[in-house]
Amino acid sequence: MPVGIFNSTYYGRDSRAGAALLRARRPYLFKNAATGLGLCIFTIGVYAYTIRAVGQDEFSDVQVPDAPAAASQQSKQ
């Protein structure tokens, strides 16, 4: 007996899901969709929280020099 996707009862000759596969997946459709939606909402929430937390930083405690003195001395030598 040949083995392969075309001999499966879940897929037809055109590689589309057959009626048996659709029936087998039906009980899990809502749970999988709810889990996927929950993961998307969690990911977007973490991203939004991170952007908001970083956006509030003023960087006022960072001292920025007026001009890079070391670079101008090295180029003269």
Q: What does the H/E/C string look like for the chain?
A: CCCCHHHCCCECCCCCECHHHHHHHHHHHHHHHHHHHHHHHHHHHHHHHHHHHHHCCCCCCCCCCCCCHHHHHHHHC
Q: Does position 49 have pLDDT exceeding 80, yes or no?
A: yes
Residue 15 pLDDT exceeds 90? no
In a domain, 75, yes or no: no
Query: Is there a domain that residue 43 lies in?
Result: yes
Counted domains in the chain: 1
Tell me the whole-structure pTM to 2 decimals: 0.55
| In a domain? residue 71 | no
Instruction: Determine the average pLDDT of the residues in 1-30.
Output: 80
In a domain, 36, yes or no: yes
Provide the pLDDT confidence category of residue 9 given band limits of 50, 70 and 90: confident
